[in-house]
Amino acid sequence: MNEQEVNALVERGEMLPLMEDFYTIQGEGFHKGTAAYFIRIGGCDVGCHWCDVKESWNAKLHPPTGVDQIVEKALKSSKTIVVTGGEPLTWNMEPLTSRLKARGAKIHIETSGAYPMTGTWDWICLSPKKIKLPTPEIYEVADELKVIVFNKHDFQFAEEQAAKVNRNCILYLQPEWSNREKMMPLIVDYVMQNPQWKVSLQTHKYLNIP
Ligand SMILES: C[S@@+](CC[C@H](N)C(=O)[O-])C[C@H]1O[C@@H](n2cnc3c(N)ncnc32)[C@H](O)[C@@H]1O
Ligand SMILES: Nc1nc2[nH]cc(C(=O)O)c2c(=O)[nH]1
Ligand code: SF4
Ligand SMILES: [Mg+2]
């Protein structure tokens, strides 16, 4: 295949810049503790200064991979799939999710919501970012809202975002990893004062697993 043909397939979501894929335990949010196969798609231009996968940002560093190949490999390990990145909604997620769905998988997404929704999902984790806000449509379909708390201004941002989600959406505050010692006591107090929120920790980092 020449470069133009590959680009055309990436454009349609038939190929995706795959950074890594691995079977692990979902560490964060509502499904923490659940075994799941992670598919990490490269490419993100949101630019969070504390992002823990900056290597994912440049899509060109990650080989365009056919979605059928991604699906076959994933389903050998698990029927619970987490699509993350990078920012997966940079790409058309329809081909990947429809193929996974046809094979009976449960498909979850980790997204900032910064780009329009594509694909069909069983669980949507929306982690909004101040520097590139979610598109309005995603608030209605988000199953969980997971706001990263790096400093105390983030509590106000969390409330602004919570005011936009649907009423069944589960609300999480997750400490930014490098600042967790400082922010964790504030998060604990905040959640006790505002019990509509729950704490989410990056438990995989404590367990030393991917
Ligand atoms: C790496 S992002 C990829 C998916 C998507 N771009 C997003 O931000 O939701 C996966 C999750 O990790 C969170 N995250 C990234 N860096 C983090 C950090 N340093 N501390 C805590 N959570 C972090 C994100 O907010 C998101 O919920
Ligand atoms: N174990 C594990 N759980 C996770 N939950 C969300 C992750 C992500 O980077 O999207 C992640 C991750 O990278 N590893
Ligand atoms: S949106 Fe997600 S992948 Fe992109 S920089 Fe922020 S945390 Fe990292
Ligand atoms: Mg991660």
- Residues 79-98 have pLDDT tens digits of 999 999 999 999 999 999 99
Ligand 3 centroid distance, CA of 44 (Å): 6
| pLDDT attached to residue 40 | 99
Query: What's the CA-to-centroid distance between 2 and ligand 2, angstroms?
Result: 34
- Superfamily of domain 3-207 in the CATH hierarchy: Aldolase class I (3.20.20.70)
Residues 6+ apart with CB under 8 A from 179: 50, 150, 151
- Across 1-28, average pLDDT: 98
Note the pTM of the prediction, 2 decimals: 0.99
Report residue 191's pLDDT band, with 50, 70 and 90 as the boundaries.
Answer: very high
Q: Mutation test of ligand 1: which of 30, 174, 184 has the most ligand atoms closer than 8 Å to its C-beta?
A: 174
Sign of the C-alpha dihedral, residues 62, 66, 70, 73?
negative
Domain boundaries, the chain: 3-207
- Mean predicted confidence (pLDDT) in 62-75: 98
Q: What angle do CA 131, 135, 136 make, to 5 degrees?
A: 125
Nearest alpha carbon to residue 174 among 208, 198, 209: 198
Tell me the C-alpha distance between 203 and 210, whole Å. 10
Give the pLDDT confidence of 94-152 residue by residue, as tens digits.
999 999 999 999 999 999 999 999 999 999 999 999 999 999 999 999 999 999 999 99
Give residue 142's pLDDT.
99
Q: Kindly report the CA angle at 25 between 181 and 76, in degrees rounded to 5?
A: 155
pLDDT at 186: 98
Residues 35 and 25: beta-carbon distance below 8 Å: yes
Which among 31, 56, 84, 124 is the best mutation to test ligand 2's pocket, defined by most ligand atoms within 8 Å of the CB? 84
pLDDT level of residue 36 (50, 70, 90 thresholds) = very high
Q: Is the CB of 177 under 6 A from ligand 1?
A: yes
Give the DSSP H or E segment for 12: helix 3-12
The pLDDT, as a whole number, for residue 65 is 98
Percent of the chain beyond pLDDT 70? Answer: 100
Helix (H, G, I), strand (E, B) or coil at 64: strand
The CA distance from 13 to 18, in Å, is: 12
What's the pLDDT at 74?
99
| Cα distance between the two ends of the chain | 33
- Span 161-180, pLDDT tens digits: 999 999 999 999 999 999 99
Q: Residue positions in the annotated binding site for [4Fe-4S] cluster?
A: 44, 48, 51
Residue 44: CB within 6 Å of ligand 1? yes
Look-up of token digits 């919501």: 113
